Amino acid sequence: MKRRDFLKKVGIGTAAAAATSAIGAPAVIAQKKYQWKMVTTWPPKLPVLQDGCERLAKRIGELTDGRIQIQVFAAGELVPALESFQAVSDGTVEVGSGASYYWAGKEPATQWFSAVPFGMNAQGYAAWFHGGDGLKLWEECYAPFNLVPRPGGSTGVQMGGWFNKKINTIGDYKGLKMRIPGLGGKVVAKAGGTVVLTAG
């Protein structure tokens, strides 16, 4: 193809695209607006996690020219923290944010999609979700609940704890009360500890 012919075709294509955009503009302006609710498992004003949800909602509003407005509710403001999964699944609200290990009682495999003791760090999860089959597996796991999961950050490997006595042996876990969800909680319980599940 000669350069001149190429430029003519590109010019015609560009003009056609501009005309189409101009013709379609009123339809875009008239598009439906959405008022969504997001519930989280995070306490109000929790740095990084709850703040991140607030920033996401604001950014979505900006990117959609206000067509999608998301009102964010922290844990307990609209539904109890550990009921956010069900609220989205039932259609009570449109969006939820929380750690997937909170939903192990609904589906044990959910534990693998958030912090796992001695598991992947944030970079490992990102690689698995976006470069491997992690996101596909997560979607399959949530599909029976009418949910479509998306990563919204990563806290990395499941952290340990802060204790009022030294933990030197497995036996030191016997009788210890600890907030640790997911697979880490199973390990602590097996070692004789008492696991407490609280969100946040």
Residues with Cβ within 8 Å of 27's Cβ and at least 6 positions away in sequence, in order, are none
Residue 13 or residue 169, greater confidence: 169
pLDDT reading at 16 higher than 60: no
Residue 56 or residue 185, greater confidence: 56
Residue 18 to residues 4, 11, 15, 179, 181, Cα–Cα distance (Å): 21, 10, 5, 58, 54
Tens digit of pLDDT for each residue in 70-96? 999 999 999 999 999 999 999 999 999
Strand partners, 178: 195
Tens digit of pLDDT for each residue in 147-167? 999 998 887 777 778 888 899
- Residue 18's pLDDT is 36
Whole-model pTM above 0.85?
no
Query: H or E stretch including 27?
Result: helix 3-29
Domains of the chain, residue spans: 33-98, 108-158, 160-195
